[in-house]
Structure 1
Amino acid sequence: MTQSVTQASCLVMAASRRGVDDPVAKIQGLSHKCLVTLDGQVMLERVLEALVDSGCFAKIHVSVDRADILTATPAMKRWVDEGRVVFVQSHGNLADSVLKAVAEIESPLPMIITTGDNALHTPEIIRDFVRDALASQADAVVGFTREEVVLQDYANSGLAFHRLKDGGFSSCNLYALKTPNSLKAVKVFEGGGQFGKRHMRILKAFGVWPFIIYKLKLRGLQGLMDAIGRRMKVSVDVSWLDYPWGPIDVDHKHSFDLTEETLIKRRLAAQQD
């Protein structure tokens, strides 16, 4: 069922931070990892297709370093020509790029943010997150999947789970900024994110008490979000997304292979229906 277009804006983070040195870009010798082909379709096109087909957005803005990246395939060029996909110049780090996009986009909030390497995202997960985000009264919303949900289909996913009092969790790279106050939270990505893999970034971004809560598993995930929110003076809610592939992004050869394998299975299953 297609959801009617919401008042939310959409921003896809697709800039090449490491260029040709990115391990995914190297697989196919490309300048940007978002341009790699997975089961016959360019990865960024897959991400944009899921967002377009979700029916949630009138326009999808893409933060990337060159406008020509968005015309790399016929489908992407058509969306650009139709005004469905719009180029936004990336700047410096993730935080700078988001804040610059907010400044440039007309009526930017609420804003749904995702990344150009979550090639397994579908219209369904987008709709579920948008529904949760718009229903929340918090300043910001973050999408997570529980460890046991991921492991039921991906025992060897290689994901870095956040382990807390109520279990393990992984981010789905789906974020919502709902209020001007939520922009304070963007600053935590000045160091690049990937908090599950690099725990010391939690200390730098969120301070000592949230770091202690995290390392000693003193609270559950929402409790940690509350502690982080109090420090930043921003309220943060969790959206639970029960999709095993939700947190899988394409960061290295293993996740590339895992993603392509899943996409092939999806295609074959669809052909049998």
Structure 2
Amino acid sequence: MSMPIPVPSALILAGSRPGAPDPVAQAEGVAHKALVLVDGAPLLTRVHAALRAAGVERVAVAADAPEVVALAERLGAEVIPPESGPSGSVARAFSHLGAPMLVTTADHALLQPEWVRQFIEDSPVDADVALLLARRDAVERAVPETRRTWLRFADGQWSGCNLFLLASPDARHAIATWRDVEANRKKPWRIAAKLGPRVLWDYLRGTLTLGEAVARLGRRIGIRAAMVPARDGLAAVDVDKVADLALVRSVAARR
């Protein structure tokens, strides 16, 4: 069943990470990765435009770098001061914007309005939280040259797409576990271990699907959680490394 309600708001995560400078921003000579140009437009501008074209009425940006804040304001987005990590920033925005709320990142450079609409349409109507993920075959069909770490489950290998839907007020229960899941996103056995020995055993036996893992994690924290397969493998492409930027620019030029 498709989701019958609109998504009036979205959050773009564009905060600064503590520690060493971002290698992509450093290579491009800009103050923040969100300002890197692809096809003549900053990454943040591209993501904001995709959300608005998808019909999202209210877009907020979690940002603290002055240059990114200034760009967000020029775009007409609300600026929300970020917390120390993504989960904290999402919690602050969720308390301000409410449900339903989309969450994505400023480096989701190829984000398309139809991906956003399809994600909402494909999210189960009773889900409190939904996550977009792409199968390896779909990603490699779209961009054969990509190199990434895959989540290996019984129903295939998957990659995250940096697009989340907090569909109901109960999604607040998921935000508290966001940090742990994000920290272990490339170590799915650790995520499975948090669900108890039965789930870990199923994962080690190779019988646990990604959808089952997400649903069981949701039940563990008291919500209904669902994974949504991306229709386009390009949805898994973001800009984490300089090599990713070259790939994104190549794809953008072809499109």
Q: How high is the TM-score relative to the length of structure 2?
A: 0.88
Match of 2:94 in 1: 102
Match of 1:120 in 2: 110
Are 1:242 and 2:231 an aligned pair?
yes
Letter of the aligned partner of 2:177 in structure 1?
A: V
Whether the aligned pair in 1 keeps the contact of 2:16 and 2:65 (CA below 8 Å) is: no
C-alpha distance in 1 between matches for 2:220 and 2:181: 19
Letter of the aligned partner of 2:155 in structure 1?
A: D
Match of 1:32 in 2: 32
Q: Rate the CA distance shift 1:248–1:121 in 2: closer, same or farther, 3 A.
A: same
| Partner SS state of residue 17, structure 1 | coil
C-alpha distance in 1 between matches for 2:201 and 2:43: 37
C-alpha distance in 2 between matches for 1:188 and 1:205: 11
Q: Quick check: 221-230 or 197-206, which moved more?
A: 197-206
Letter of the aligned partner of 2:17 in structure 1?
A: R
Q: Rate the CA distance shift 1:21–1:199 in 2: closer, same or farther, 3 A.
A: farther
Whether the aligned pair in 2 keeps the contact of 1:20 and 1:31 (CA below 8 Å) is: no
Are 1:260 and 2:244 an aligned pair?
no
Whether the aligned pair in 2 keeps the contact of 1:94 and 1:192 (CA below 8 Å) is: no
Q: Rate the CA distance shift 1:143–1:205 in 2: closer, same or farther, 3 A.
A: same
- Which structure 2 residues correspond to residues 51-66 of structure 1 after superposition, within 5 A? 51-55=51-55, 57-66=56-65
> 5+ residue gaps in structure 1?
267-273
Q: Rate the CA distance shift 1:102–1:216 in 2: closer, same or farther, 3 A.
A: same
Q: Quick check: 151-160 or 193-202, which moved more?
A: 193-202
Whether the aligned pair in 2 keeps the contact of 1:146 and 1:242 (CA below 8 Å) is: no
Letter of the aligned partner of 2:37 in structure 1?
A: T
Whether the aligned pair in 2 keeps the contact of 1:12 and 1:114 (CA below 8 Å) is: yes
Are 1:93 and 2:85 an aligned pair?
yes
Q: Rate the CA distance shift 1:98–1:215 in 2: closer, same or farther, 3 A.
A: farther
Match of 1:220 in 2: 209
Instruction: Measure how far apart 1:212 and its partner are.
Output: 4.7
| Partner SS state of residue 101, structure 1 | helix
C-alpha distance in 2 between matches for 1:87 and 1:240: 30
Q: How many residues align?
A: 251
Whether the aligned pair in 1 keeps the contact of 2:45 and 2:75 (CA below 8 Å) is: no
Are 1:171 and 2:160 an aligned pair?
yes
Letter of the aligned partner of 1:140 in structure 2?
A: V
Q: Rate the CA distance shift 1:140–1:121 in 2: closer, same or farther, 3 A.
A: same
Instruction: Measure how far apart 1:173 and its partner are.
Output: 1.0
Instruction: Measure how far apart 1:70 and its partner are.
Output: 3.8
Whether the aligned pair in 2 keeps the contact of 1:213 and 1:224 (CA below 8 Å) is: no
Letter of the aligned partner of 2:24 in structure 1?
A: V
Match of 1:132 among 122, 128, 132: 122
Match of 2:75 in 1: 79
